[in-house]
Amino acid sequence: MPAILTLASAGPQEKGGKGDAARGKALFEIHCDECHDGYSREARVGPGLQGLKNGKLPDGRPATHDKLIDVVNNGPAEMPSFKERLTEQQKEDIVAFLMTL
Ligand code: HEC
């Protein structure tokens, strides 16, 4: 009987999507929010990221899943790299959240 509970509590990644936007939001607040406003295009240290769901980065290039993972890993210009600071799953979670902005 308790085995049924275990199945029901399997993580969202089990359902097909790679990232979980709710977890990504919490990670964004810890790692990204100091430099990026997710809810406007106003700059902090880096550009505001609102509007990514429309498919465009602040600099106008396409905001694809792979491009966003690349930004998190490599950090353009003054942005720090998060390659070693986040797990692959955490990166997927953050990108899932970014694509809701
Ligand atoms: C210390 C400040 C800082 C932190 C922390 C930071 N960024 Fe950035 N970010 C920047 C700056 C500065 C730029 C602009 C770089 C440029 O002009 O090319 C940028 C650019 C970006 C861009 C736009 C890239 C483009 O090509 O238009 C995205 C998306 C982004 N950051 C996402 C994130 C995410 C997600 C996190 C958290 C994991 C994060 N940033 C953490 C400073 C930061």
Dist CA 34 CA 75 (whole Å): 15
Q: Please tell me the CATH code under which domain 18-98 is placed.
A: 1.10.760.10
For the cut 60, the answer to whether the pLDDT of residue 15 exceeds it is: no
Helix (H) or strand (E) holding 72: helix 65-74
**Residue minimizing CA distance to atom 6 of ligand 1:** 32
CB atoms within 10 A of CB 14: 9
Query: Domain residue spans in the chain?
Result: 18-98
Dist CA 21 CA 10 (whole Å): 16
Quick: pLDDT tens for 25-80.
999 999 999 999 999 999 999 999 999 999 999 989 999 999 999 999 999 999 99
Residue 31 pLDDT: 98
Rg (CA), the chain: 15
- The Å distance, Cα 9 to ligand 1 centre, comes to 33
**Residue minimizing CA distance to atom 12 of ligand 1:** 46
With a Cβ cut-off of 6 Å, ligand 1 is lined by: 31-32, 34-36, 45-47, 49, 57-59, 61, 68, 71-72, 76-80, 82, 94, 98
- Please give the model's pTM, rounded to 2 decimal places: 0.87
Dist CA 34 CA 56 (whole Å): 21
Provide the 8-state DSSP code for 16: S
